[in-house]
């Protein structure tokens, strides 16, 4: 009888210890799960915070600042073999009626000779309407720094007028195609010690570009 009581007591103690250990393990598992959920929530919150931090704020500067570039050709209409490949870049202001107002610069690389011209100019684009328009007018004028193939350096006025056509348009992007006229006067110079008269150049320009 005493042996039976002892066996029951020992068995009860073992079962009690096992139940206590199981409860402790369950509590540990629950705690680890809670910590994992909290960590995951913190990670998501951190990622969302980081995403919000990298979003470009909508400020007056971001709404009105614009920049762009164009690629095209200026076709010499005076028969002086000064047809050029054109690359331009510009930056400035955009608004409701003004599609662009600012400064630009470029390079004119003549196809038939080694002449180069580097215009620096002010430019205005407008559609004369507040809403987006398919057509726009472009005016520009400035100074052209020209190195002729005869090793003559000149600095003269450059200007032009262009009719542009919008290809695609959104709040932050616009692509365009344009046809225009440009004028580049040339001064007289010396070739092999002889005074030489250069005719002014009249260009027909064709370009495709984009602005942001």
For 35-55, write each residue's pLDDT tens digit: 554 445 555 444 454 444 445
Is 195 or 124 the better-scoring residue by pLDDT? 124
Q: Tokens 């979003």 identify what position?
A: 55
Task: Give the residues across from 130 on adjacent strands.
Answer: none
Mean pLDDT of all residues belonging to the chain: 80
Identify the band that residue 83 occupies on the pLDDT scale cut at 50, 70 and 90.
very high
Does the pTM of the predicted model rise above 0.75? no
Place of tokens 């990622």: 47
- 86-102 pLDDT, tens digit per residue, is 999 999 999 888 999 99
Pairing of strands 201-211, 65-76: antiparallel
Angle among Cα 161, 164, 168 to the nearest 5 degrees reads 155
End-to-end CA distance of the chain: 96
The answer to whether 163 and 179 are in contact (CB under 8 A) is: yes
pLDDT in tens, 2-20: 444 444 544 454 445 545 5
Check if the beta carbon of residue 167 is closer than 8 Å to that of residue 175: yes
Q: How many residues in the chain?
A: 212
List the structure tokens of 34.
């809670």
Q: Indicate the fold that domain 60-211 takes in CATH.
A: Porin (2.40.160)
The token pair that represents 14 in the structure block: 């073992």
């Amino acid at each position: 009888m005493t042996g039976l009581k002892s066996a029951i007591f020992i068995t009860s103690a073992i079962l009690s210890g096992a139940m206590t250990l199981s409860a402790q393990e369950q509590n540990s598992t629950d705690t680890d799960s809670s910590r994992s959920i909290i960590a995951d929530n913190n990670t998501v919150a951190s990622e969302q915070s980081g995403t919000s931090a990298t979003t470009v704020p909508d400020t007056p500067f971001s709404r009105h600042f614009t920049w762009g570039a164009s690629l095209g050709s200026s076709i010499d209409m005076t028969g002086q073999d000064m047809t050029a490949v054109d690359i331009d870049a510009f930056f400035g202001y955009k608004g409701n009626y003004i599609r662009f107002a600012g400064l630009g610069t470029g390079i004119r690389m003549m196809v038939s000779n080694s002449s180069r011209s580097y215009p620096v100019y002010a430019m205005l684009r407008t559609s004369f309407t507040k809403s987006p328009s398919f057509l726009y007018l472009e005016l520009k004028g400035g100074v052209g720094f020209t190195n002729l193939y005869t090793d003559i350096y000149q600095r003269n006025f450059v200007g032009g007028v262009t009719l542009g056509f919008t290809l695609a348009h959104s709040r932050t992007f616009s692509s365009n195609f344009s046809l225009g006229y440009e004028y580049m006067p040339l001064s007289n110079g010396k070739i092999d010690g002889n005074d030489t008269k250069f005719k002014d150049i009249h260009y027909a320009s064709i370009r495709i570009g984009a602005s942001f």
